[in-house]
Amino acid sequence: EKGGWPNFMSKEISEEPEAVANTLLGRVTDGLVQLDELAELDQTLRDIDRVTIVACGTAAYAGMVGKYAVEQWARVPVEVELAHEFRYREPVLSERTLVVSISQSGETMDTLMAVKYAAEHGAKTLSICNTQGATIPRESDAVLYTHAGPEVAVASTKAFVAQITALYLFGLHLARLRASLDERAHRDLVTELTDVPAKIDLVLDTSERISELAHWMADTRSVLFLGRHVGYPVALEGALKLKELAYIHAEGFAAGELKHGPIALIEPGQIVFVVVPSPRDERSLHAKVVSNIQEIRARGARVIAIAEQGDAAVLPFADEVIQIPLAGPFFEPMLAVVPLHIFARDLATAKGLDVDQPRNLAKSVTVE
Ligand code: F6R
């Protein structure tokens, strides 16, 4: 069943390109996103004034990535909330709120209860799910399946990139219904999305260095992850995987938050992963993150940068640079997360741990 891989997680990381490609299959017609499965929801989608994403763990991080894109393309406010926090605070909901749940298993009790709460309080519900016929999609008004294939390892990997893909499809569909994006921009984004699987393949082909680093770091006690914009949820995901698989204390931060507190954690020898935005980005986020790297280095910490190929600005300051192919800002997370998945897996392996079955965890959490 593992198809020659030492564990399911390795197999599933190797399937990240297909997870994206299969989720796109049949959903792009003549270069434009068309989601027939949402047809019944189309009028609602034209009328909504807010999207609330509910999910847990890795699925919530995919939601955070999706928020940046859906807001940007469809010009609808999007919030992301942990499903277990949602229904205990009397959220403001109306028939113009769309609640989008994200769940690989479709059985996560916290997420299911949030969806039920939303429906009972008049919101429309859309499920992004990887498991056909699971409870959450059955309880929702509409479903957009991710086609990552069955995920066996407890830690979610290929489902994460498939969830981002589905959210991007949803964002482009919504943008089309609401005429918020010109056609040229829509087509360019579709092209970028379609190019992602081949780019993930390139990342997988060059993953030796990250594996070496993981093996050298088997004794590490603490790792920090920094990212900005869509790189921020990637940092959170990198930290979660390391906690979950390698039992190492890890924290993810928004890079801009560093000076508001976390910089006090930076000391000689501390390992800090930094997800670096593209230098081609117009918003000068790249320069800001490079300056964060300098601040970290000045305090003696070791920086492992995940940066775009040819990004010369990071080279003098980072101890290690893991290169990813060129991609538009929204597509970097799907590439940058791959080395972080590999890092967590290989560090856990170096510590002799079971990467498919980390302690204390279950694949689907069907209790609240
Ligand atoms: C992390 C992980 C969990 C799940 C979370 C939600 O690697 O696997 O954080 O992402 O429990 O599970 P689903 O997506 O099945 O609702």
Per residue in 9-53, pLDDT tens? 999 999 999 999 999 999 999 999 999 999 999 999 999 999 999
Determine the atom of ligand 1 nearest the C-alpha atom of 108: 16
Residues in contact with ligand 1 (CB, 6 Å cut-off) = 56-59, 103-105, 108, 111, 155-156, 240, 244, 364-365
pLDDT digits (tens, 9 = 90+) for 233-245: 999 999 999 999 9
pLDDT digits (tens, 9 = 90+) for 276-286: 999 988 888 99
- pLDDT range class, residue 263, cuts 50, 70, 90: very high
Determine the atom of ligand 1 nearest the C-alpha atom of 155: 7
pLDDT at 251 over 90: yes
Which run of H or E residues covers position 222?
Answer: strand 222-227
- Cβ neighbour number for residue 150 with a 10 Å cutoff: 12
Please tell me the residue having the least CA distance from ligand 1 atom 11.
Answer: 57
Interacting residues of 325 by C-beta distance below 8 A, sequence separation 6+: 199, 202, 203, 308, 309, 335
Virtual CA dihedral for 316, 318, 321, 324, nearest 10 degrees? -90
Determine the atom of ligand 1 nearest the C-alpha atom of 57: 9
* Rounded average pLDDT over 250-267: 95
Please tell me the residue having the least CA distance from ligand 1 atom 3.
Answer: 57
Determine the atom of ligand 1 nearest the C-alpha atom of 163: 14
Q: Is the pTM of this model over 0.90?
A: yes
ipTM above 0.95, yes or no: yes
Span from the CA of 241 to the centroid of ligand 1 (angstroms): 11
Please tell me the residue having the least CA distance from ligand 1 atom 7.
Answer: 155
pLDDT at 212 over 90: yes
Span from the CA of 27 to the centroid of ligand 1 (angstroms): 25
Span from the CA of 234 to the centroid of ligand 1 (angstroms): 15
Residues serving a catalytic function are 363
pLDDT at 359 over 90: no
Ligand 1 site-directed mutation target among 107, 112, 127, 156, most atoms within 8 Å of CB: 156
Please tell me the residue having the least CA distance from ligand 1 atom 16.
Answer: 103
CA distance 264 to 296: 10
Q: What is the pLDDT of residue 284?
A: 87
CB 215 within 8 A of CB 275: no
pLDDT digits (tens, 9 = 90+) for 85-132: 999 989 999 999 999 999 999 999 999 999 999 999 999 999 999 999
Determine the atom of ligand 1 nearest the C-alpha atom of 111: 16
Query: To the nearest whole number, what is the mean pLDDT of the chain?
Result: 96
CA distance 208 to 194: 25
pLDDT digits (tens, 9 = 90+) for 54-91: 999 999 999 999 999 999 999 999 999 999 999 998 99
Span from the CA of 86 to the centroid of ligand 1 (angstroms): 17
Long-range contacts: 360-363, Cβ < 8 Å, 24+?
361/154, 361/244, 362/154, 363/105, 363/151, 363/152, 363/154
Q: What is the pLDDT of residue 53?
A: 98
* Rounded average pLDDT over 166-175: 98
Q: What percentage of the chain reaches a pLDDT higher than 70?
A: 100
Q: What is the pLDDT of residue 255?
A: 97
Ligand 1 site-directed mutation target among 365, 366, 367, most atoms within 8 Å of CB: 365
Span from the CA of 61 to the centroid of ligand 1 (angstroms): 10
Span from the CA of 362 to the centroid of ligand 1 (angstroms): 9
Q: What is the pLDDT of residue 282?
A: 80
